Amino acid sequence: MSIVNTSFSGANKALINAIRKEVFILEQGVPPELEFDGLDDTAAHVLAFVNDQPVGTGRVLADGHIGRIAVLRDCRGQGLGAEIVLALVDEAAKAGCNEVYLGAQKHAVGFYEKLGFVAYGEDFMDAGIPHIHMKMSIGAETGA
């Protein structure tokens, strides 16, 4: 497995889109206009590869908002999601963010808690899927 930091351009754009289409649009029923929100060009992205095949992705915006974490169904349960999230946290720290945050699908709250995220606020619906806000402090003051 390898994690590659990338921009949303060239061949990597097509790979990122294919993974997100499979996971969010086809598997979870998210409308394409919600999934592809126009923010990808300004975000830092990562791609996860297993045996040189792209199997996962995620992004972080300049303000520390992590999102679009997706791992293809056949590759789940191998720690790829955690590696993707931690790579994005590292990117946010390098960009000077002191905190990262995300909207976690409710079924994934335990996953993010294991990585150090804390839930806050009220549950909310996004693309018809129950979510909760989560955040994590990062940077020099936390030793991250």
**No. of helices (H) and no. of strands (E), the chain:** 4, 7
Strands 99-105 and 129-137: antiparallel
**Please, what are the domains in the chain?**
2-142 (3.40.630.30)
Map residue 30 onto helix, strand or coil: coil
Per-residue pLDDT band for 140 (boundaries 50, 70, 90) equals low
**Percent of the chain scored above 90 by pLDDT?**
94
Let me know the angle formed at the C-alpha of 115 by 114 and 117, rounded to the nearest 5 degrees. Answer: 95
pLDDT at position 144: 42
**pLDDT tens column, 39-82:** 999 999 999 999 999 999 999 999 999 999 999 999 999 999 99
pTM here is: 0.93
pLDDT higher than 50, residue 143 = no
- Cα separation, 41 vs 65, in Å, equals 14
3-state secondary structure of 120: strand
